[in-house]
Structure 1
Amino acid sequence: MSSITEPGGNACSPSFFSKQATIAQPGFSRWMVPPAALAVHLCIGQAYAFSVFNGPLTKVIGISQSAPDDWSLTTLGWIFSLAIVFLGLSAAFAGKWLEKVGPRRTMFTAACCFGGGFIVSAIGVWTHQIVLLYLGYGVIGGIGLGLGYVSPVSTLIRWFPDRRGMATGMAIMGFGGGAMIAAPLSVALMNHFKSSTSVGVAETFVVLGIAYFISMSIGALAIRIPPADWKPAGWTPPVETKQKMITRNHVHIDQALKTPQFYLIWLVLFLNVTAGIGILGQASVMIQESFKNTVSAAAAAGFVGLLSLFNMGGRFVWASASDYVGRKNTYYIFFALGAVLYWLVPTFASAGNIALFVLCYCVILSMYGGGFSTVPAYLADMFGTAYVGGIHGRLLTAWAAAGVAGPVLVNYIRAYQVANGVAKADAYTMTVHIMTVLLVIGFICNLLVKHVHEKHHMTEAQLAAGN
């Protein structure tokens, strides 16, 4: 049954955004859903490109150079930090709401928040009120990021029970690749709007806010959820196996937090992300210091771009591969191969072998991206699909924690090493060895993941009642 044809079921009525109104009609192609998800994820992936605004924002008053009253980089740095914090908070706390109201309302709310955050930020630039940038992009935009990140994922998993990894990989690859569109577009717009009285940031914010709102709204309007008990033609749900651990049961979002599996997978994601995110943030400096007088700043920038490509590609490749080898086995590869590569990196650096050094980090960053795209399918395998969106949202707190732990490990240990007389070229050795240990711990955590005990499974009556 669908309410799409109910009286008053139009874009202005509340019923149009109801979960019931998004149930697909017979004949709907599930391949229409990934583009709808990408319409959202390619937009919110802009977050990784926000740094292109930092330089111009330090010259809003001075225009050609920073004036005494202009914002400093340290002041501006809080904008992105707030956005990531509220991404995690909104993803974690809006999980139940997402499962209740469905993906269309959630994705449209994300469009309003993310697009609206740019408009509020533009006003902040025009009035030179930093609090409006914190509120606009940091808080409101951050909420849009979180809602936009998790809302399409659970829908894709339900449409592609036979290819969960591939489906989530497509969408989350969009988040990784969004910056590759946003960075040059933002620079081009700022150059277009730049004048003797403006650095072009406010005008660019307005254009991006409107464009992102439209794109994300299109995705929200196009999204559909499958009817109850729908499955692909000719597909039979797999028998739960030791290798793939795919359950046919469902666990409520609140009950999932009472299982050891949730916390073990939380640690699996946390440790995998920690091992990659700190390196990603210091890649340019790291390769220049490791190969002093050999790698130029331009070559280092190319290295960063290459890592971004592997980060993006790994989200699709590894998640798709997990459909065949299993999610648990995929994480075994991440941790075992990652530990070996991290251990070898200092050897390649001391030998002056740039090619193998770069190759190691490219593979490591592909697995970093793969960790993000594989974990939603891992959760669906363990806890079922009924509440996977909310469970995934709460698990993303591991990302927020790793976003602090990774850079702290890389930056502070390096600083400690240099302060104690260690050459800059050797200052990362201890760090990568610590990363190796973390990956070994991650391997053990993944090893401990077992089937969820049947006492946590929802009954048919609970599923029908939605609680």
Structure 2
Amino acid sequence: MASTNQSSQLKIFGLPPDQGRWLLIPLGIIVLLCLGTVYAWSIFRKPLQAELNIGATESLLPYTIALVFYATLMPIAGFYIPKIGTRKMTAIGGIIVGLGYILSSFASNILALTLTYGVIAGTGVGITYGVPMAVVARWFPDRKGLAVGLTIIGFGLSPLITAPLGKTLIDAYSVRPTLLILGIAFTVIILAISFTLKLPPKDWHPQQAISSQTVSKTEVIYPANLLKSRSFYGLWVCYTIGTFVGLSAIGISSPVGEEIIQIDPALAASSVSLFALFNGMSRPLFGWLSDRFSPRYVAITSYVLILIACVLMVNAGEGQVATYLIAFCLFWFCLGGWLAIAPTTTLRFFNPDNYAQNYGIVFTAYGVGALLGTLIAGQIRDWFGSYTYAFYPMGLLAIFGIIIASFFLKRDRVMTE
């Protein structure tokens, strides 16, 4: 009865929580749109190469370091979210992200830029990234996958929105003022939204879910120790494979189009916008699927799509533009899918009250997949002289993923009397 009274008095933006909680999703999307600008580094590279008199390899260093710090800080931050609170954590992360961009506008050499953009901004992204997902996951116990998938679409689609915006600002004001403008804007936006990102009371449930519940003697039992759970290792390996293949493909999207299909470089570059659209759309879709079906079936579906893409590219040749577009839409689609499958599965298999910490640990798979995926595809090209050979190990990994998902991607112990 007390819980019912508490729920009736609870308001979000002046609305009943069942309605107001939906406003948290677009706010989370906006936060992740700001953070995802880190993926739009390419718009800053050429102007900075000219200003700092550096080569293409050096100009990639700030971006690479930013990804390393983002992937490293994400699991660490997960343990501090419950202690510091979602609002303070978002505010701290937002200030650090903004500071990284602002200081980057004053960087006079590549070392300083790597520190400001790579270390500082990357750290801010890692601190902030998990908070919007943790918040919506707790407010949507009845639609975890859909809510998380919709929220995380902001990170995937960010380059489609922030890259053209950044390019417009660079054309109008040059690169350094653009970094300053973005830094100030991100700080203000994330700080403003941070005040709204609060968790619901413990054991809160939507009224509709409460009224539709049937009395049951069964209760979900979660593993007491994540690292001793067989399902954790199944999820971790599957997530690593999904990100390894996806990020390998993303890294070689344009060069594969130019070298294997022989398409115009401008078309190869513009096709990335199409791929990014599929990457963004797949997140709410795979989140929705992960709500309704066993995670292992959703994972197997993604691996089958990856396998189809690999077969298409192994047999692709000059002029087969449609084959190239379909295959890489599938690669990007599945990578976005894994960024929804993994958090949703974490919510289903392990205690949702510890979601921030649990997903932080699971997210280390993304870091491993990102590091290996971005290195190995290019190395295979250097060894064999063609990107075609990169799709053979990708296909084998997809088959391995199907096997792992079939046997290990299931709850350790689900019910008890």
What's the TM-score, normalizing by structure 1?
0.80
Q: 1:251 to 1:140 in 2, by over 3 A?
A: farther
Report the Cα distance in structure 2 between the residues aligned to 1:23 and 1:30, rounded to whole angstroms. Answer: 7
Q: How far did 1:247 drift?
A: 7.6
> Could you tell me which residue of structure 1 aligns to residue 360 of structure 2?
393
Question: What one-letter code is carried by the residue in structure 2 that aligns with 1:101?
Answer: I
SS in 1 for 2:228: coil
Partner of 2:16: 27
After superposition, residues 447-462 of structure 1 pair within 5 angstroms as 447=406, 448-453=408-413
| Change in 2 beyond 3 A, CA 1:302/1:189 | closer
Deviations 1:371-418 (A, max 9, x none): 112211100000021111121122222112111221333211122112
Aligned length: 401
Q: Is the 8 A contact 1:24 1:227 kept in 2?
A: no
Deviates more, 1:262-271 or 1:41-50: 262-271
Q: What residue number does 2:56 align with? A: 73
Match of 1:134 in 2: 114
Q: Which residue of 2 aligns with 1:444?
A: 403
Name the structure 2 match of 1:55. Answer: 46
Do the aligned partners of 1:24 and 1:226 also contact (CA within 8 Å) in 2? no
> Are the equivalent residues in 2 in contact too, given 1:23–1:224 (CA < 8 A)?
no
8 Å Cα contact 2:62-2:118 kept in structure 1: yes
Superposition map of 1:377-416 within 5 A = 377-416=344-383
| Residue in structure 2 matched with residue 161 of structure 1 by the alignment | 141
Out of 270, 280, 302, the position equivalent to 1:334 is 302
| Distance in structure 2 (CA, Å) of the matches to 1:71 and 1:429 | 31
1:328 aligned partner, one-letter code: R
- Correspondence 1:300-315 to 2 at 5 A: 300-315=268-283
- Aligned counterpart in structure 1 of residue 244 of structure 2, from 256, 274, 278: 274
Change over 3 Å in CA distance of 1:129–1:299 after alignment to 2? closer
Candidates 31, 44, 47, aligned match of 1:40: 31
Task: Report if aligned partners of 2:260, 2:388 keep a CA contact under 8 Å in 1.
Answer: no
Offset at residue 249 of structure 1 (A) = 4.1
Unaligned runs of 5+ in 2: 3-9
Instruction: Say which of 348, 351, 366 aligns to 2:333.
Output: 366
Q: Which amino acid aligns with 1:296?
A: D
Give me the TM-score of the superposition, normalised by structure 2: 0.89
More helix by share: 2
Q: 1:429 to 1:206 in 2, by over 3 A?
A: closer
Matched, 1:232 2:202: no
Alpha-carbon separation, structure 1, partners of 2:278 and 2:156: 10
Alignment-derived partner of residue 258 in structure 1:
228
The match for 1:66 is none
Q: Report the Cα offset of residue 222 of structure 1.
A: 1.5
For the residues of structure 1 that align with 2:58 and 2:253, how far apart are their CA atoms? 23
Shift of 1:25: 8.3
Residue-by-residue CA offset, 1:256-295 (whole Å, 9 max, x unaligned): 1232222221111110111111111111110122223xx1
Is contact 1:328-1:378 (8 Å) kept? no
**Aligned-partner Cα distance in 1 for 2:318–2:178:** 46
Structure 1 unaligned regions, length at least 5 = 2-20, 62-69, 194-199, 240-245, 419-426, 458-467
Contact 2:296-2:405 within 8 A present in 1 as well: yes
Structure 1 residues 238 and 288: CA distance shift in structure 2, 3 A: farther
Question: In the TM superposition, what is the alpha-carbon distance from 1:26 to its structure 2 partner?
Answer: 7.9
- Identity within the alignment, %: 28
Q: Which residue of 2 aligns with 1:179?
A: 159
Q: Is the 8 A contact 1:87 1:142 kept in 2?
A: yes
Q: How far, CA to CA, are the matches of 2:412 and 2:82 in structure 1?
A: 21
Per the TM alignment, residue 117 of structure 1 is displaced from its structure 2 partner at its CA by 0.7
Structure 1 residue 351: Cα displacement: 8.1
What SS does the corresponding residue of 2:352 show, helix, strand or coil?
Answer: coil
Larger Rg: 1
State the match for 1:434 in structure 2.
393
